[in-house]
């Protein structure tokens, strides 16, 4: 019944956060389910993560972020049930 109210005025978004590679070692877990403020962007979430895990700052601008399996920049808007991944530069191949 209050689905419509939630859809029009959500106060919080539920999102999944994943960490890979050296970022996961810093965070100590590969996946979190968290609630963030509505109208959050990737940049907002990144700031929260850096506040919670200051060691992530060592990646500087090379800390990469993907939303739902696509590279995203800091202005990307988040929505409920998004899967956001944080990871250092990739090193596949050889």
- Which residues contact other proteins by CB under 8 A? 18, 20-22, 25, 61-62, 64-66, 69-71, 73, 85, 87-94
Using CB atoms within 10 Å of the CB of residue 71, give its burial: 0 to 12 exposed, 13 to 18 middle, 19+ buried.
exposed
Nearer to other proteins, 4 or 33 (CB): 33
Nearer to other proteins, 4 or 70 (CB): 70
Tokens coding 46 = 């990144």
At closest approach, how far in Å is the CB of 33 from other proteins?
17
The b-or-e profile of 1-23 (16+ CB within 10 A means b, else e) is eeeeeeeeeeeebebebbbbebb
Nearer to other proteins, 10 or 50 (CB): 50
At closest approach, how far in Å is the CB of 7 from other proteins?
27
């Amino acid at each position: 019944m209050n689905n419509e109210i939630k859809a029009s005025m959500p106060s919080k978004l539920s999102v999944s956060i994943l960490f890979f590679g050296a970022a996961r070692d810093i965070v100590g877990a590969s996946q979190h389910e968290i609630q963030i403020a509505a109208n959050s962007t990737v940049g907002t979430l990144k700031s929260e993560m850096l506040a919670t895990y200051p060691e992530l700052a060592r990646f500087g601008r090379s800390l990469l972020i993907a939303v739902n399996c696509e590279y995203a920049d800091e202005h990307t808007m988040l929505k409920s049930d998004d899967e956001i991944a944080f990871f250092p530069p990739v090193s596949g191949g050889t």
